[in-house]
Amino acid sequence: MCLNVSELVGKRNHHLLRSIDGYVEISSESGVLKIEVSDFFITSSYFSEQNKELPCYLLTRKGCDLVANKITGKKGVLFTATYVTKFEEM
């Protein structure tokens, strides 16, 4: 779902990865809240058209919520509506 999310939010994949890396770093540092990063993002990879292995994250529903809460305006509304619908279909 990593590439699909970047398309839905209108970000280049590496920009979304950088944002999620930041969320992961902040979550990992928060000793007070006991946040399990894997409840939001699961480290993964995929193969590009050039057969090159590239990093990505699999997003859980909580991860989608976190990403959606960081996006404002039309893109945020469309992404939220899309991922909520997809999770309901599962």
**25 within a domain of the structure (yes/no):** yes
**88 within a domain of the structure (yes/no):** no
Q: Both tokens of residue 5?
A: 């999310």
**74 within a domain of the structure (yes/no):** yes
**33 within a domain of the structure (yes/no):** yes
| pTM reported for the whole predicted model | 0.71
pLDDT tier at 61, thresholds 50, 70, 90: confident
Q: Round to whole Å and give the CA distance between 83 and 5.
A: 9
**31 within a domain of the structure (yes/no):** yes
- Which residue in 66, 61, 60, 62 sits closest to 19, CA to CA? 66
**44 within a domain of the structure (yes/no):** yes
Q: Which domain holds residue 58?
A: 2-83
Q: Round to whole Å and give the CA distance between 21 and 41.
A: 10
- pLDDT per position as a tens digit, 19-48: 889 888 887 776 666 778 888 899 999 898
> What is the number of structural domains in the chain?
1
Q: Check: CB of residue 29 under 8 Å from CB of residue 11.
A: no
